[in-house]
Amino acid sequence: MSYDDLEGKIELMPTAIPWYETEEDYLTVTGMLGLSEDDSLMSYRNWVAALERHEEELQSRGAITRRIPVDPITLKAWCNRNNLSVSRPAITEFIMLKHGGSL
């Protein structure tokens, strides 16, 4: 089977992006990050602008993006169940599992 035969038949997996519905959610989650991770924090407004630029860049290259809501209480409970501290890698794992339907 050639590539041409597959064209239009392959579904692209959307790129999962963490999304905080409110500034309060953003501040709660970033407040849970360890000291080594809070040095690059930005305001919620700046974070939203940076995320939108990142989404546009991905989409301009043909990627499909999907914002995955991050609820601070659910994230913290998931981290506790999995013996993880709240960290950027843990947030990434959390949204990937949520994106894949495992949560």
Give the pLDDT confidence score for residue 103 in this predicted structure: 57
Task: Indicate the pTM of the whole model.
Answer: 0.79
Q: How many domains does the structure of the chain reveal?
A: 1
Give the pLDDT confidence score for residue 37 in this predicted structure: 67
5 part of a folded domain:
no
Give DSSP secondary structure letters for the chain: --HHHHTTTPPPPPEEEEE-SSHHHHHHHHHHS-GGGGGG---HHHHHHHHHHHHHHHHHTT--EEEEE--HHHHHHHHHHTT--S-HHHHHHHHHHHHTT--
32 part of a folded domain:
yes
2 part of a folded domain:
no
Which residues neighbour 74 within 8 Å (Cβ) at sequence distance 6 or greater?
A: 103
53 part of a folded domain:
yes
21 part of a folded domain:
yes
61 part of a folded domain:
yes
Q: pLDDT tens per residue, the chain (103 residues)?
A: 444 554 554 456 789 999 999 999 999 999 999 877 665 678 999 999 999 999 999 999 889 999 999 999 999 999 999 999 999 999 999 999 988 876 5
88 part of a folded domain:
yes
Give the pLDDT confidence score for residue 6 in this predicted structure: 47
7 part of a folded domain:
no
Q: Which domain holds residue 70?
A: 12-99
Q: Are 55 and 98 in contact (CB under 8 A)?
A: no
Partners of residue 69 on adjacent β-strands: 19
